[in-house]
Amino acid sequence: MNGNFLDASDLTLIALGMDKEDIPNISFIDLLDRDNLIKAYKVTKELRKTGYQSAQSEYKLKTKMGEYIYLETYGIPLKKDGEIYAVLGVAKNITERKKAEKKLKESVGMFKALFKEGSIPAYTWKNVDGDFVLVNYNNAAAKLAYKSVENYIGNKVSEMYKDRLDILDDMHLCLNDKTHVKREINYRFKSSNEEKNFLVNYSYVDPDLIVVRTEDITERKKAEERLKESELKYRNMINNLDVGFYQVTLDGIMLNHNPAHNKILEYDLSDSLIGKKVTDFWQHPEDREHYLKQILSDTYAKNYICPSLTRNGKKVVVQLNSHLMFDKRGNRYGIEGTFIDITEKYKLEEKLRESEKKYRNLYDNTPFSVVLINTQGAVVDMNPKAEQMFGYDRHEIIGKKFMNLPIIHKDYLPNLLTIFREFVKGKKFHRMDLKINRKDGVVFWANLQAALTKINEKTYVQALFTDVTAKKEAEILVEEEVKKLKELDQIRKNLISRVSHELKTPLVSVSGGCELLLTIYGEQLSKEELEIVELIEKGGKRLKHLVDNLIDISRIDYEKFKLLKNPNDLSVIIREISKELNYLIKDRKINLMLLLPESFQINLDLVRIEQVIMNLLSNAIKNTPPNGEIVIKLIKKENFAEFSISDTGIGISPKEMEMLFTKFGKLERYGEGFEYIDIQGTGLGLYISKEIVDSHEGEIRAESEGRNKGSTFVVRLPIQ
């Protein structure tokens, strides 16, 4: 009588997915959810009271594999010495019947919703002696025809479209082949002599009935024609440019080019270079990595100098102006640009640069301290600013090797020597901070930048020093403060984690105890006692929900937020959660519409995605006024499963939109007109939901046109 199995028939074990050896471990408490368990308690209580066979009831049981079955059963009391010691349960497996009923109900409801409330005009035609008679139409069709469509009910296709017998042929094809027929047709209206383009879909319903949906695509077709004209103009413009034009992939494969491109690089104008590697046109192919890095960072390259090669290997210099190309999703996929031949100009400028480089770089009024060093490390020149910085006169420095001077602090000299030797061999060097000893004994921080330069065919290192003492001291102070903040943050994380886990155990006892009191002794409690217990239970559940959220936050902070992905049916998950929250939906008199495919298989963490859907749907219910509407839609979009939850509730303002998906980002909305909003919550639900979706490598976003205009939350999960 405590719910444990004493024995079971083979059919029972098969239905539960268990073996004879499992019988001692089977308990009704483990097989039933809360609602079914309460029902079983009541039946058992009545059976104990009367001592007679119970009435027939339906139960939903969980099998060993985690699936659910439905049974139609009644209980017979078994007595010994006049006392009931067990119950003999006789059951009929009605799982398939329940599934069929559910499927029928959903399919009928979905067809009605899609047909009647669909945005595309639709008409129902009945086959009558080889012709088709109009018998029904949807709201979109009535709106399109300003409700005059009702005058055509009962008319035949052959009479309405005498000049378009192909329409009748398509209807017969749809009916005879029991298939779906899709056509683009042009139709000229006699009343206005206006010609329009329609996309017509003929759908088979039954042997005597088809549904025809007609979508006006006139504007779309015109737009396509305009696009073709625009593309033609664009192509003509590119081909007539007197500068080279090109499009390449990010990895350097030619996608497109114009005749001027061929002319500059001395190819025949008719030659196609599509598919060639762009590095074939570079004198130094390895330099393209620097160019690519720059354009990926800035999204464009302006007046970029590129030493190039013509078809016959002649060296030329071109100047590039290019930018990244992006697809419709905003993903970069290539580079597009123009170039001109600046070979002669470049040669003249290069000679001028070489002759003036030393004097320009060492200009006396430069704000930097500049030191010129040869490849052996000897100082050959320095500017007045460097003299002021180091406190030495030129004659004390020039001609001496920098490693033998007391200027560089001893802690930094070994590392600087290593960098110098590698730098003069061609290894890149950006900048470094080091300590400098001034002649008067003052120690300060300087930032060193270096570049290789050629003067009269000899290589030199041009070193630029900048005093960064104030900045460095500030950085050290910031580092110390950051360290303290990290320690405080770690204390916060540890506190949240410890307190959350310490609270969880007593909360389970509180919630479980209240639930058991209500289940077993609920009928014996007075109204006041019952209200107190229910109040404790609700408070316990809210506190448990908060603790669970805090534990999830702790897992996220410690990067222990792990997923357990398995194949699941997303349609079934959404339906089950909608059913679970049905009592809230009915209580608030909300109309819930599910636009879901019959099945949608996807790999995901069942518990976590249920948590996301439960949170989003609960929020929609809380923020939707009585007699409002919530729509849940699931579709496949590209390689993603995309489901959305839309409501007609309070909506989200631009300022509130910035708070969504942030930790403790709770929206506080009070005052007149907001009485129906359930303001309970911690502000953690959407933050955790985003972490769960991000962990699935998916996306979550919110959309709203503003206050009192409803909101939509969209979740995209990758199918593979």
Range list of β-strands (E), 300-361: 300-309, 315-326, 332-341
What single string gives the DSSP state of each residue in 556-593?
Answer: HHTT------EEEEHHHHHHHHHHHTHHHHHHTT-EEE
| Residue 412 CB contacts under 8 Å (≥ 6 apart), including other chains | 434, 435
Both tokens assigned to 681? 């919550």
Tell me how far apart the alpha carbons of residues 377 and 421 are, in angstroms, rounded to a whole number: 9
State residue 435's pLDDT score. 92
> Which residues partner with 182 through β-bridges?
201
100-to-17, 57, 104, 455 alpha-carbon distances in Å:
22, 19, 6, 88
Nearest to 642 by CA among 650, 633, 651: 633
Long-range contacts of 312-316, Cβ-Cβ distance < 8 Å, separation of 24 or more: 312/266, 314/266, 315/283, 315/343, 316/264, 316/265, 316/341, 316/343
Q: What is the pLDDT of residues 537-569, one digit of tens each?
A: 666 665 666 566 655 665 555 555 677 889 999
- Going along the chain from its start, the domains and CATH numbers come out as 10-93 (3.30.450.20), 100-220 (3.30.450.20), 241-341 (3.30.450.20), 351-467 (3.30.450.20), 473-557 (1.10.287.130), 566-718 (3.30.565.10)
Residue ranges in the chain whose pLDDT is less than 70:
104-117, 144-147, 189-192, 355-364, 487-510, 534-535, 537-561, 664-683
Both tokens assigned to 420? 């110098």
Nearest to 215 by CA among 184, 180, 250: 184
First to last CA, the chain: 48
Q: What is the pLDDT of residues 356-405, one digit of tens each?
A: 666 666 556 777 888 999 999 999 988 888 898 999 998 999 999 999 99
Burial class (CB in 10 A: 0-12, 13-18, 19+), 669: middle
State residue 603's pLDDT score. 92
Nearest to 357 by CA among 347, 345, 349, 365: 349
pTM for the whole thing?
Answer: 0.32
Q: Is the dihedral of CA 164, 165, 168, 170 positive or negative?
A: negative
State residue 362's pLDDT score. 52
State residue 2's pLDDT score. 83
454-to-352, 368, 451 alpha-carbon distances in Å:
13, 20, 10
Nearest to 370 by CA among 466, 435, 463: 463
